Structure 1
Amino acid sequence: MIEEILRRYAADPANFFRLAGSALEPADFEIVDSELTRLLELSQTSADVADAMADVRFAAGYGELKQASDRLRKVLSSEGILVTHPVMTAINARVLRPGSTPETDKLLLDLIRLWHQEEARLGIEIDARVFAHVASNYDQLDRALLHLGLVQPNPYWRFQVIYGLLWARGNIVRSRALSSYNPFAVIPDADREILLDVLQVGDAFGGLCLRTVWLDEPNWREQVEDAFKQGASVSLIAPPDARENLKSAMLSLAVEPMELGFLQVYPVVEGVQQYLRSFTVMLRLREIIQ
């Protein structure tokens, strides 16, 4: 088996590192964190999203609930949110749980924003229990849950409720993707971002240079050509609302050759990913020497 791995690595070294990088992409828990935050933001800014969420909350019976859930999926997909099974499960369990209202949506969004702000201010990741303890000193929760008649104005009750509302974030979820079990030794938690830093030194990735190009820049095609001239692969990134522009860009790259010296070449699409508020297309040239 080791000989086969070495043979395939020698045939295409860059592909090995691309596969390693793909294995270190954000896992389900990280995607859930990102998409739940985006949903809460859209619930305050998009009337379509707010209406679709209200339809799910007020659905009577299985038939209405299924129709409302299908509509919510379509609306969220049109807004660029990943409607995968883990994301939809988390939305129903965390945001659209029984008793939830637009007020609880606003409360959750305020808590998440405060969580991010404090982490940015301190320069460290804050554990959910620590943040819930700090947030329990404020009475925002009392006002948001007043309609349920269950408010107990004391910090300990608030801590329990807030901790139950929040979801896992940060290193806790990043380490789960690389967790393993050994009955004979205690294996320390791993962090995929640390390993990515090791594999991706500066712009070098697997012996190749990886250049990031944003589609919303007016000279994106020139940047792609310049990257290929320097022997780099390209990560072409577009925001969720620019899917049609990204499609047009891919068609343009497929039918209009690029001139590299005396060669006319066409880039190869290695993969398309949607995560963390963007679409990413990986491009490379077969003609690049590895």
Structure 2
Amino acid sequence: MAIITLTTDFGEKDHFVGAVKGAIYSELEDVKIVDISHLISPFHLHEAAYIIQNAYKSFPNGTIHIIGVDSELNPENKHIAVYMDKHYFICADNGIISMLTAEIKPEKIVEINIHDRILSNFPVLDVFVKVAGHIARGGTLEVVGKPISEIKETTKIRPIVNKNENQIIGNVIYIDNYGNVISNISKKQFDKVGRGRKFVIGVRTTKIDKIHTNYSDAINFDQPSDKRIEGGKKLALWNSSGYLELAIYKSNPSSVGGASTLFGLNFLDSITVNFEPES
């Protein structure tokens, strides 16, 4: 049974997601559809790339991923199908694939060219679903598009390391449902630059000098529950994707607030790590 995932900025109020699923079932009766997310901020390619990058690897090889973010066809926004890391991706050539290919290069890319056979102003519903159906039935990419070697590049936001290698300046790349702030500083880079030195993470007026593995590691469970500092506790940790994350323990953005609001951080804002000088 084929698996098709959907990642869009359609939201949950309108008919778009249901219509796309209906079109997939009309194309393929024996298929499993999985929603990765439909709450991507409108046209937010970096947000979509972060979510897809951290989700697709959990699916079996051969899974087909439809990405419906900034997907309207125009002279500067072609449609492509990509085979990469044993998965298929169908999306617009708007730079999102370039953000997924920093370490893994596509094995095959085609520019979809079946538009003359489909009358549509809703490409995810019509064009992307047709291509997904073709792939799911065992079809090759060359039948639905012409091979290309280059895709639109969108500069991936990368942390800056100063020349003395005692500071990393990163950026907020994603804010999750809990208001937790994810940076683009990876544990791999942190360990390479830090070399075991003491450090201080700085965001606006907040300073943090310890990074945890789990949220609950920030709580001292040896203390009686009525004496623990839990609610509103600020912490840093390495999240499941290996990136530095700033959080508030058991935060709730709709009531007590989350790290993004309490730290005053938004997309692309700076997060700095300062290491002590080497002796």
TM-score by length of 2: 0.28
Larger radius of gyration: 1
- Name the structure, 1 or 2, with higher relative contact order (CA <8 Å, separation 6+): 1
TM-score by length of 1: 0.27
Higher percent of residues as helix: 1
